[in-house]
Chains A and B, each alone.
Chain A
Amino acid sequence: MSLFLLNILLAIAWAALTGSFQPLDLLFGFLLGYLVLWLGTRMGTPPQYFRKISLVLGLLGVFLLDLLRANIRMAILILSPRMKLRPAVVAVPLVLKSKSAIVLLINLITLTPGTLSLDITTDQSVMFVHTVYLEDPEQFKQQLLTGYEKRLQELFEG
């Protein structure tokens, strides 16, 4: 986290030195700072930061694609004359322990294809997810677990 702040500071420093705070300059400064930090910290123990940045970018990419896909699927469903519905509330066991990871997971589930997170138990061991079309409960659980939960686990508890 402190490396991330340092990286932002380096980006601002770059923009100040070039005297231009255009978004492209800031982005370039960030990339440059990233490179410098990577070179500088290569010698000692490799920090989590560099792996985490790529994890975050990967998660963001997957999420944005999923959001678009969710909406297109929902649009097709809404426009089809005979809506194919097989709704269900499914209990999905939570593997994640960190609270912020759970919050993020629940947000992501609500925003992605056909699913809506309803609640988690007070001991944070099970979450309840509402889905628009349930084919096979086991397969559905597997899908949720392998998709986001694995990535979030790596990101928060790796």
Chain B
Amino acid sequence: MLREIVVIVLIFGGAIFMALAGLGMLRMPDLFLRMSSSAKAGTLGAGLILMGAAVHFNDFGIYTRAFAIIVFLLLTAPVAAHMIGRAAHFDGVPLWKGTVQDDLKGHYRASTHALESSTIPENDCPATDEDEIPDNSEFDR
């Protein structure tokens, strides 16, 4: 009985976090903010659901497998987010106009794709897609 309650709480919690991450994808104004919402929630949501499944089956083999999957998720999900973020910024995906600071601008060298700590001369910077700024009138204030 107690175990069932634990299972329900874990799986329900995981599902809620994942649903909220999906809602965040719809509501957030730009790619980077959307990734902020999905990268974390996906890991926690999947982790909670896996833990719930492990508790439900209550078997040593299942516990170890669930644990291994969670560890690999924690190791790989941020790497994927990092690569997507890097590629997006390099490719000039525009940041939301409410963005207060962009230190990354002017550090990529377009000719080598390298990111340098010193500022890059203007003519070697990747271009921003000016014509594709998303319409975020909902968020204007």
Q: Quick one: given A22-B60, A88-B99, A128-B103, are A123 and B85 in contact (CB under 8 Å)? A: no
Q: Which chain A residues border B43 with CB–CB below 8 Å?
A: 67, 111
Chain B residues close to A by CB (< 8 Å):
16-17, 20-21, 23-24, 27-30, 32-33, 35-37, 39-41, 43-44, 60, 63, 74-75, 77-79, 81-82, 85-86, 89, 95-96, 98-105, 107, 114-117, 139
Chain A: which residue is nearest B103 at the CB level?
A91
Which residue of chain B has the shortest Cβ distance to A116 in the bound complex? B36
- Residues of chain B within 8 A (CB-CB) of A107 are 74-75, 78-79
CB-CB nearest in chain B for A128: B104
Q: Is the CB of A116 within 8 A of B115?
A: no
| Interface pairs (26), CB distance under 8 Å | A22-B60, A70-B40, A74-B41, A75-B17, A75-B20, A78-B27, A78-B37, A83-B139, A85-B33, A85-B96, A85-B98, A86-B100, A89-B32, A107-B75, A107-B79, A110-B82, A111-B78, A115-B36, A116-B35, A117-B78, A118-B85, A119-B85, A119-B104, A121-B117, A122-B114, A128-B103
Given A71-B17, A137-B101, do A111 and B33 touch, yes or no (CB 8 Å)?
no
Which of A88, A106, A114, A120 sits near B115, CB closer than 8 Å?
A120
Query: Please, which residues of chain B bring their CB within 8 A of the CB of A117?
Result: 78, 82, 85
Which of A22, A88, A120 gathers the greatest number of chain B CB atoms within 10 Å? Answer: A88
Chain A: number of interface residues, binned into ranges:
35 or more
Residue A19 interfacial (CB < 8 Å) = no
The residues of A with any CB-CB pair to B shorter than 8 Å are 21-23, 67-68, 70-71, 74-75, 77-79, 83, 85-91, 106-107, 109-112, 114-123, 125-126, 128, 130, 132, 134, 137
Do A23 and B89 contact each other (CB < 8 Å), given the known contacts A74-B20, A118-B82? Answer: no
